[in-house]
Structure 1
């Protein structure tokens, strides 16, 4: 009885029937807890879309590349700072928006896709991920892309789109019939694809605009919440792609160009928030907001350093979009939680894998941030 008392908390002298009831209750709790974990892992719902299945789909489409991110696999670490303009302080109580505040930033530029040794192409979607280190241990992590909208609305559609866009080994291009079927089932994605195709493709990382795509909420000191989307817009005038540049054969020309620019001096962007109004779609990243929405220049992002991925730098950072400081909150966009969960699963997998040298071997540029 002493052992049973230790396990169940039953007082001495408990009758067998009462003890049986207590054990049954404990068993129900344990079974419920196990069921929760099983559900979260997808074990009880094999047809459900889980983070593991999303990461598996990337591997199915791109092949195995141990140690690398499953998407945006080819990248270069960057560093610098963010100087707040003070204009964001009325919208968000996040400390980095206070007037005069300068926040250290580390980040990563990358190309979409899960093949780390693929040759650079100007039409490939570019990304800029940033990690702002705020006082008191707070952080803000954000991943942005150089497209104005996201091609899908839901995690399920994203999972389907990955397979629909998989290149045919015989042609090197997606099967047009498979893409046609996907767009027929997802007309919102067809509209988004048209907007993405119509964007101006610039020649460099340093003259690209990067959009948050998903909506978030800025929360002011008085509790007022404002739906926002943000972008970083370059100070350098964007140079459109030319036929001569598109024909370049250097496999890493976009990354090499960025390193060369930083050796000449810092690159700057303005972090601009677009404020949503009632009725604007905050849970659908395929839809742009109307062009007349208020825009607020929150401050200047300066990048002055770059180095290849290696142990201890951006290679080992999970740029989870839900790592947010007090004053920035997620919206109801279902892609946000899906991105966060898939990033975590991908990070866990690659953390346990042997690492290969960076696919981009640019000479380090030592700015103040490195």
Structure 2
């Protein structure tokens, strides 16, 4: 997996938790991204190409049963939504075999906020923030503009799980639309329900329109910059919708390793529907000043022990400060 792909896949959701070893400092994580992608200036390193949209979320009765968080009380919750494309800059290709992203800020009528960042792959590119930083530094360009092949080889041999996301992306063609791909949360969270029960979950936003991918011929014909206008036309004709589906951990499922997907036969519950009703006419919008850092909504939604989850918010803040300084 390339340095850039590792940086961008992981940047879709920057990272960590209560790890045994001292995790990297937030500045060190962002420094590692800059070592591969260059200095962070005016755009985010995490899916820098993207558009801002808006809509709302309404939980199902199952949502209220599985979480006491305000977002799941069954009332309409306003949402600021950002669709993105992984890449080194806002000019990334829309037909690249990389991740697409769905970032959401939920805003309840009582003033509660909950953010999340989801990607179009069911697994992540690093098991721990330490692995993320080591992988990036192994792939930073040398004087000739290329990474040291021997350093990359040593890293991959020591961390074979770092290649799983890249292999998954290589095996599928890119989404035909931001509206027709699932978006996974990848990390595990603890949901506390109305009766006090607590369960480990992961989630996915499943497109109501169904999953549609580009054919090889369409990849050649579409060009590198079609996603934004496609979803603007689509939303102008009617709302785009996603169902939020929880997947519940079973004994033996690892809630601390986002490079491994849980088996498909795990119990599931549809806990709400996200409806996209408007898309910004051009670049910018309210998403630009948001790094989607409010990742938990306790007591209804709390962090698991996934180390790539707990390290996430602080590097987001560092990145935001560097691109707005």
CA contact (8 A) 1:77 1:108 kept: yes
Aligned to 1:364: none
Give TM-score, length-normalised by structure 2: 0.85
Aligned to 2:182: 209
Change (3 A) 1:296 1:306: same
CA contact (8 A) 1:147 1:199 kept: no
Larger-gyration structure (1/2): 1
Change (3 A) 1:351 1:155: same
Give 1:262 deviation, angstroms: 1.4
CA contact (8 A) 1:227 1:282 kept: yes
CA contact (8 A) 1:148 1:196 kept: no
State the structure with bigger RCO (CA 8 A, min sep 6), 1 or 2.
Answer: 2
SS at match of 1:55: helix
**Correspondent of 1:288 among 261, 267, 273:** 261
Instruction: Tell whether 2:84 aligns with 1:110.
Output: yes
Distance across 2 between alignment mates of 1:284 and 1:134 = 31
| 246-255 or 74-83, larger mean C-alpha shift | 246-255
**Correspondent of 2:33 among 58, 67, 71:** 58
Give 1:260 deviation, angstroms: 1.9
Distance across 1 between alignment mates of 2:128 and 2:230 = 35
> Which blocks of at least 5 consecutive residues in structure 2 are unaligned?
1-21
CA contact (8 A) 1:143 1:321 kept: no
Distance across 2 between alignment mates of 1:167 and 1:298 = 44
CA contact (8 A) 2:85 2:92 kept: no
Report the count of equivalent residues: 303
RMSD of aligned Cα (Å): 2.5
Give 1:184 deviation, angstroms: 0.7
Q: What is the CA deviation profile of residues 288-342 of structure 1, one whole-angstrom value per residue up to 9, with x for unaligned ones?
A: 112211110112111111114436x010012115242541001011111211111
Q: How does 1:20-39 map to 2 (within 5 A)?
A: none
Instruction: Tell whether 2:192 aligns with 1:219.
Output: yes
CA contact (8 A) 1:76 1:309 kept: yes
> Which blocks of at least 5 consecutive residues in structure 1 are unaligned?
1-46, 353-370
Give TM-score, length-normalised by structure 1: 0.75
CA contact (8 A) 2:181 2:212 kept: no
Instruction: Tell whether 2:50 aligns with 1:95.
Output: no
Give 1:60 deviation, angstroms: 2.1
Distance across 2 between alignment mates of 1:176 and 1:254 = 34
Aligned to 1:4: none
Q: How does 1:123-272 map to 2 (within 5 A)?
A: 123-164=97-138, 177-199=150-172, 201-248=174-221, 250-272=223-245
| 158-167 or 142-151, larger mean C-alpha shift | 158-167
Q: What is the CA deviation profile of residues 254-306 of structure 1, one whole-angstrom value per residue up to 9, with x for unaligned ones?
A: 22212221122211111000011233111110111122111101121111111
